[in-house]
Structure formats: C-alpha cells, structure tokens
Chains A and B, each alone.
Chain A
Amino acid sequence: MNNPPSLPSHLLQSAAVRDRFTRLKQREVILEVKHLGKQFTSAQGTVTALKDINFKTHRREFVCVIGPSGCGKSTLIRILAGLESYTSGEALLDGEPIVGACAQRGMVFQGYTLFPWLTVKKNVMFGLEMNDHSKTTAEREALQWLELVGLSKFADAYPHQLSGGMKQRVAIARALANQPRILLMDEPFGALDAQTRAKMQSHLLEIWKNIDITILFITHDLDEAIFLADRILVLKAHPGEVQELIEVPVPRPRNFMQITSPEFLATKARLEALIHPPKVEDDDEAQIRPHMIRMARVGDDVEDVE
C-alpha cells in the first residue's frame, strides 16, 4: 500500500458524523436482511451465491453495496427487488417478508430499461397506472417527477432521443413516482461516461436529500460508493458474504472537493485493502501475462521525445 503514513483510520469519526450515525440508527428499520442465503445447482454442482447475509437499513439511509465481481451483489439486489428467489434466511421490508416484485421496492437498472414505445412522460406514468391511479393523477404526478429530474422539456420525447444520463434520470423518476419505501439501484451509472456519472451522483444526492427515500445502491466504483453512501456493505466473493459494514466518516453535505480529504482517502484505503487484497492471483484476469516485445525502432522512444 502506497498510502501516506499520516492517513487516519477510517473508523475515526468527527463528532458531527458520529452524532449523525447515532440519530440515523435510531430511525425505524426499513429493510432487514437476516441470514439470507442463496444456493443453486448448476452443471458444476451446488453453487453458493450468497451466504448468511445480515444487515439493516434505516429510513432515509443511503447504503452502497460493493464487492469484487462474482460476490453476488447483483443477486442480492435482485432478491430484494423480488426478481429472484432465495433459499435460506429472511428479507423483510417494514417487517414484512419480501415475496415477488412490487411497487414498494423501486428499482433502477444499469441498462435503463425504459419502455421504448412510450414517451418520457408515459414511462413515468407507467408505474402509477399499474397501481390504479387515474390517468389525470398519473399525468400530473409524472410531470412533477420529471420537473424534479430536470426533464420537463423532454416529456414528449421518446427514449431513443435521449442521452444515457437523461435516460437514467427518467428511470429514476419512473421508480420514484411510485413513492417506494426503498429504491434499489443496480450499478445505475455504470454505463455512463465519467463526466455524466459525476453529475448524476450529485443529482442523486440532491434527490435523496429532498425526498423521503431509502436507497440501496450497488456499484463497483470505490469513489462512487464513498461519495454517496452513509454506510458501505462490502461483500466478498465465493461465496458471497458480508466482509465488513463500513460507516463512511466523510461529513455531509458531500462535494467533489472531499475526494482528497483524509477521511475519504482513509475509507478508500480500507476498501481497497478489502476488495483488492495484495495477494490476488487465483482469478482468471491474473493468469493473463502479456509478453512485451519491442516493435518500435531503436531510439524512437515515446517517453523522452523532445
């Protein structure tokens, strides 16, 4: 690790942050996952995708789930959305077991999943109409949500006319329009370019600040997790297990200047140590060893061209 030695521990919290966490934990529990596990049988035998997952999220908390590929983070969020089954343990929303998908748990997918045949406005109205709101109510509310994500101008556009970032704004508005208890986000900004991504992160925090919503956010980007989350659930792979639940010591409100703050760097160092332990050698990626042959002319060096 090449971190400066002066870096504080990620466990160190300022008084304000500590207070915040105390208050947060006093809030009601929205989502509770107890000993959750998923096994399935494949050609290679029984695979344990998730093993004994335990955690709670409180009302209006922002939790990020992070972990190496194959740690089952997508499986976890899909179980919570009700799109996949689990084989052991419990998953409770407001104390009620999760069975099947429903509007109480909104989801934003990485692939946008907007309905291409509906205009932006009608996409946002979709959930409301599914839940027996009248067309006029649905339309009025949809326009409000579009205003919130700044896309009022595009209400009558079709999804293929929008950029990736705009599509994801619509997807967020569409999920929020149902006023779900929890918003599940499965690497929602993974397909966006770096600039749009940063904008969307700030935008999401703004939305979260203004709306009574609890967010569970999956990402593989460490900076994104630290920037967004109150707490970060770190999973490890094979089998997918909770490795650590980190309380992010970076104070709120967040901004991009904090990326170089000691709390941020300390948290990142901890995450890196957890996710990329120094000795990873067994995955396929590590097996690839390029053999560099020099194919440029002698003396024609890029690194010291005048």
Chain B
Amino acid sequence: MNSTVIPIAPKAVVAKPGWTDSWFAVRKELTPRSRVALIVGSFLLPILIWCAFSYLPFVWHPMMRISDPGSVSYFAPDMLVDKDVFRDETKTAKQNGTALPQGSGANPIYLPAPHQVAKALYTAFTTAPERKDGQWLHESLWHSVQIIFWGFLASSVIGVPLGILCGTYNVLSRLTEPFIEFFRYLPAPAFGALAVAILGIYDGPKIAIIFIGTFFQQVLIVANTTRKLDIALLEAALTLGAKKIQLLFRVVIPGILPDLYRDQRILLGWAWTYLIVAELIGTSSGITWFITQQARYKNFENVYAAIIIIGIIGLVTDLLLAALGKWLFRWERSPNKA
C-alpha cells in the first residue's frame, strides 16, 4: 500500500478538560480541595437559603410586624399580623381619615432568622432555668444522651450476639428471624403505654422505646452482615483444623468486625431518631422537655437551637466513631486501592 492511502487530518486532540469534566466525571474521586469546598458548601447552601428567606423581604415575608398601631385598636407594637389584615385595616383607616398603622414585612413566628437562633444557641447555655427545679439546657442534653446510651447498650448487648449467632447458625436464624421480621414492623412508640404500665413514668419506658426501636433491626442487620462473610475464609479455617467454637470466635467475629462497627454506627443514628418520641412517654424529660417547653412559650429560636444541637451531637459522634473505626481496622483494604 503506498499511493492509495488517503491522508486524513488528525482529529482535534481533546483539549484541556473543561470544568464539567473535572466536576461531573462519573464516579471519579474529586481533588481534596474541591472535596472540602463541597463539604462546606453542603452546610452553607441550606444556611444561605434560610438567610434569603429571613433577610430578603421580597422572598417570602407573609406577615407584617407592627411598629406603630396608628388608629387600629387591636394592633400593638411588635405584633405580627397577616399582610391581608394589615392592608384592610390601612384601607379602613385611610377612608376614615384616621392615623395609619405602620409596620414592616416579617416572617411567621415559627421561622426565626439565623442570627436569632445563633443568639439562642449561646443564651440557652448561659441562662439559668426560669424555675428553680428546672434544668439547664446542658443538663437536659446530658439526660437525653444517657437515655440513648442505655437503650442502645441494652439493645446491643443482646442484639449483636444474637445477630451473629443467627448469621452463623441457620437453626437460630430460622427460629428467630421470622418473628423478628414481624415485630420490627410494629412502631416502637405503640408500646409507649405498655412500657409506662410496666416500667413506671421515669427513664425506664424511655429506654425501653429506644431498645424496641433498635433491637429488632439490629438483629436482622447484624445477621445479614455475618452472612456476608466470605465462606471461603471459613473453609480455609476448617482445613487448617479450626473447630466449631474456634470458627465462631477466631474467624466469624474478627472477620465481620469492621462491617459490624459500621452497622452499629448506623443503628446509633437510628436510636437517636427514636429519642423525641421516647422522651414524650411518661414524664417528659431531657431535650424533648426543653423543646416542648420552649415551643409552648413560642420561643421558636430556642427550639431550632435545640434541634441543631441534636444534629451537631449526632454528627460529631459519628465523625469520631468513623475516625476510631479507621484506626481500629487498619488491616482493611482501603476502597481506593485495588
């Protein structure tokens, strides 16, 4: 082949990757810098939306905050009224030639501005409880953390071993899992009244609700994790002379430990979601008592502050546990390495 070869112009080489290639490459790891930027962004974005709603009057602001009631008899300074009502009263005042009410756009009371919540976050820890027998916010929080701790511990002490046994021995799995499968569909709060009748009105029933909410899922999840252990590892151990109990303690348990740890982290988050319901049972206590009290007096900035604190506690615990897990299970293959 010589003269018959038709020369073709080489196709333009794909130039520098555009920003869509670096940010929207399918399942490609981002640079550390953009990762940090995105983490910050994921928190900043909702906060910015919240700010927009709070500080930009044209975004929402369906209410009017009265600054001067004028001639309207039932208006009072700092009162919040619907925009429609305000408009009607202004019209009436205009027709009658009396003093006009004054006011500016505002959001409903249940949406405080970020700076109010930020202030509440600070003052909640620095203001003494109004009643002498009341609790400081940090005391309420500590009480809640203890409820979670005991509920989750009680659940884990029984649930984790049972789950491991179910995942290892089919006999136990068949014997227990169908019932647990049934039970886990029952909403934990449904047992509230029963728990109070049996365990009294203080912490007992609350711990019980956390337990019921966690335990049944825990058994099934741990059993499943146990079943995912590579059976070849068990076979290898058998050919090396491992006996039944050794198989369980020397292969199954160490083999599933990292996954078990991850399960526990997820389940702990789960336990937190049962907290509010649990604390409403019997005598209201802990952070829930704080939230309901503040909501009753319409101190919604304190409500938001409490909710945010729960979120922060959850997130920080999880981050610490994640870091601990990384250190504990150094032998695990990192997902990035082949």
Q: Which A positions have Cβ atoms within 8 angstroms of B?
A: 81-83, 100-103, 105-107, 109, 111, 113, 115-119, 126-127, 130-131, 158-160, 174-175, 178, 184, 297, 299-301, 304-306
The answer, among B5, B240, B243, B331, for a CB contact under 8 Å with A117, is B331
Known: A81-B239, A102-B241, A103-B241. 8 other contacts (CB 8 A): A82-B239, A113-B230, A113-B236, A115-B255, A119-B331, A127-B240, A297-B6, A299-B5
Chain A residue with the shortest CB-CB distance to B236: A113
Chain A residue with the shortest CB-CB distance to B251: A115
CB pair A101–B2 under 8 Å, yes or no, is: no
Chain A residue with the shortest CB-CB distance to B241: A103
CB pair A116–B333 under 8 Å, yes or no, is: yes
CB pair B236–A116 under 8 Å, yes or no, is: no
CB pair B332–A160 under 8 Å, yes or no, is: yes
* B255 partner residues in chain A, CB cutoff 8 A: 115-117
Cβ of B250 under 8 Å from chain A? yes
CB pair B331–A160 under 8 Å, yes or no, is: yes
CB pair B232–A111 under 8 Å, yes or no, is: yes
The answer, among B2, B5, B235, for a CB contact under 8 Å with A109, is B235
Q: Which B positions have Cβ atoms within 8 angstroms of A?
A: 1-2, 4-6, 230, 232-233, 235-243, 246, 250-251, 254-255, 257, 329-334, 337
Chain B residue with the shortest CB-CB distance to A103: B241
* B2 partner residues in chain A, CB cutoff 8 A: 306
* A83 partner residues in chain B, CB cutoff 8 A: 235, 238-239
B59: min CB distance to chain A, Å:
52
CB pair B236–A160 under 8 Å, yes or no, is: no
Tell me what chain B mostly uses at the interface: helix, strand, loop, or mixed: loop
The answer, among B1, B235, B243, B332, for a CB contact under 8 Å with A301, is B1
- Between A101, A118, A174, A301, the greatest number of chain B beta carbons within 10 A of the residue's beta carbon is seen for A101
How many Å lie between the Cα of A130 and that of B239 in the bound state? 11
CB pair A113–B241 under 8 Å, yes or no, is: no
A156: min CB distance to chain B, Å:
11
How many Å lie between the Cα of A118 and that of B254 in the bound state? 9
* B330 partner residues in chain A, CB cutoff 8 A: 158
* B334 partner residues in chain A, CB cutoff 8 A: 160
Q: A111-B232, A113-B235, A115-B233 are in contact. Are A175 and B240 (CB under 8 A)?
A: yes
In the A-B complex, the 7 residue pairs with the smallest Cβ-Cβ separation, listed nearest first, are A103-B241, A127-B240, A101-B238, A113-B236, A107-B239, A160-B333, A158-B331
B241: min CB distance to chain A, Å:
3
* A107 partner residues in chain B, CB cutoff 8 A: 235-236, 239
* A300 partner residues in chain B, CB cutoff 8 A: 5
* B243 partner residues in chain A, CB cutoff 8 A: 130
The answer, among B232, B238, B240, B329, for a CB contact under 8 Å with A174, is B240
* A127 partner residues in chain B, CB cutoff 8 A: 240-241
How many Å lie between the Cα of A304 and that of B2 in the bound state? 11
How many Å lie between the Cα of A82 and that of B241 in the bound state? 11
How many Å lie between the Cα of A106 and that of B331 in the bound state? 25
Chain B residue with the shortest CB-CB distance to A110: B232
A210: min CB distance to chain B, Å:
22
CB pair B332–A116 under 8 Å, yes or no, is: yes
